[in-house]
Amino acid sequence: MPSGTDVTPVSNMIASRSSKNENTVVDLGTCRVGDGSLVIIAGPCAVESRDQMICLARILKKMGVSIIRGGAFKPRTSPYSFQGLGEEGLKILSAARAETGLPFVTEATDSRSLEIACRYADIIQIGSRNMQNFSLLREAGRSGKPVLLKRGFSSTLEEWLMAAEYIASEGNRKIIFCERGIRTFENYTRNTMDISAIPAIKELSHFPVVADPSHGTGRRSLVGPLARASVAAGADGLMLEVHENPPAALSDGPQSLYPAELEGLLPSLKALHSACVLQGRAV
Ligand code: PEP
Ligand code: MN
């Protein structure tokens, strides 16, 4: 790092597009994020039980979903809300992977859960609330695991890019950005989905970006339209919360799609994606 200044020019950073013009592809073995395909990540907000997760994973696999999601360590606003099943949840996700062959992503909220999650997961999620937890970012970087880096809900694009730099500076180049909405004055939606962040972060960085309209809107009825908008804006993939019975979900039920809703949404996402590729958009 240069001395005499506390700000490294963004253009010199590993994560910057100016240091590597070609898109970085994060290869998970069974699928590649950032290669021009549209990757669908889906699953419940939180893993609730073995039966639930295995049954849902089978349904998602049949639909053509590429990556399963499920939280085992949940960063909940209230300490009295369901906090996740912890390591047991990771064992369940591993069983779902064995059943379907699909890799999974799960959140690590601190150093201890990161160490445990790394023993099971294919991708480590750093959540919105931890986007500027610099020691956790460094540890995630050192883990060598692919990292899904959610945007902090009050973070600028530059701060998000800097968070990716913390991971990259530890030698880890397997980073996937995830736009999940930011806090604005509007409260009809849980967050305001920043669609402009999708093409903007792709201008700023060579790492792929996926969009999460579930947290971005907080409303099931708005997930489909914002998922389509994200694909049209150039997202490399989508992360969608799905639950077999959303009203009974232990976390984020109001924004979780029913499996049939996801199935109904996928054809329009694929059609939009093909239209954008035909249009010759830089992906
Ligand atoms: C989640 O993916 O369930 C989650 C907690 O996301 P975020 O960090 O974006 O709120
Ligand atoms: Mn959630």
According to DSSP, the residues that pair with 207 across neighbouring strands are none
pTM: 0.96
The total number of structural domains that make up the chain: 1
The verdict on the CB of residue 213 being under 6 Å from ligand 1 is no
- Distance CA(149)–CA(33), nearest Å, equals 13
Residue 258 counted as domain residue = yes
Mean predicted confidence (pLDDT) in 21-47: 98
- Distance CA(211)–CA(180), nearest Å, equals 6
Does residue 23 sit in helix, strand or coil?
Answer: coil
Distances (CA, A) of 134 to 3, 50, 65, 147, 166: 20, 33, 32, 14, 7
- Which residue range(s) make up the domain with 112? 10-278
Residue 244 counted as domain residue = yes
Q: Residue 2's pLDDT band (boundaries 50, 70, 90)?
A: very low
The verdict on the CB of residue 180 being under 6 Å from ligand 1 is yes
Residue 105 counted as domain residue = yes
What does the pLDDT look like over 51-73, one tens digit per residue? 999 999 999 999 999 999 999 99
Residue 283 counted as domain residue = no
Residue 2 counted as domain residue = no
Phi first, then psi: what are they for 248, rounded to 5°?
Answer: -100, 5
Asked whether the beta carbons of 151 and 131 are under 8 A apart, the reply is yes
The verdict on the CB of residue 128 being under 6 Å from ligand 1 is yes
Tokens of 58: 């089978």
H/E element holding 117? helix 111-118
What does the pLDDT look like over 137-172, one tens digit per residue? 999 999 999 999 999 999 999 999 999 999 999 999
Q: Residue 277's pLDDT band (boundaries 50, 70, 90)?
A: confident
Q: Identity (one letter) of the amino acid at 233?
A: A
Residue 1 counted as domain residue = no
Query: Strands, DSSP E only, in 78-232?
Result: 104-107, 123-126, 147-150, 175-179, 209-211
Q: How many CB atoms within 10 Å of residue 58?
A: 13
Residue in the structure block whose two tokens are 């604005």: 184
| Angle, vertex CA 267, rays to CA 264 and CA 270, nearest 5 | 140
What does the pLDDT look like over 191-212, one tens digit per residue? 999 999 999 999 999 999 999 9
> How many whole angstroms from 127 Cα to the centroid of ligand 1?
5
The verdict on the CB of residue 147 being under 6 Å from ligand 1 is no
Tokens of 130: 């931890």
Residue 4 counted as domain residue = no
Nearest C-alpha to atom 1 of ligand 1 is from which residue? 45
Q: Which has the closest alpha carbon to 238: 204, 274, 262, 203? A: 262
Q: What is the CATH number of the domain that holds 187?
A: 3.20.20.70
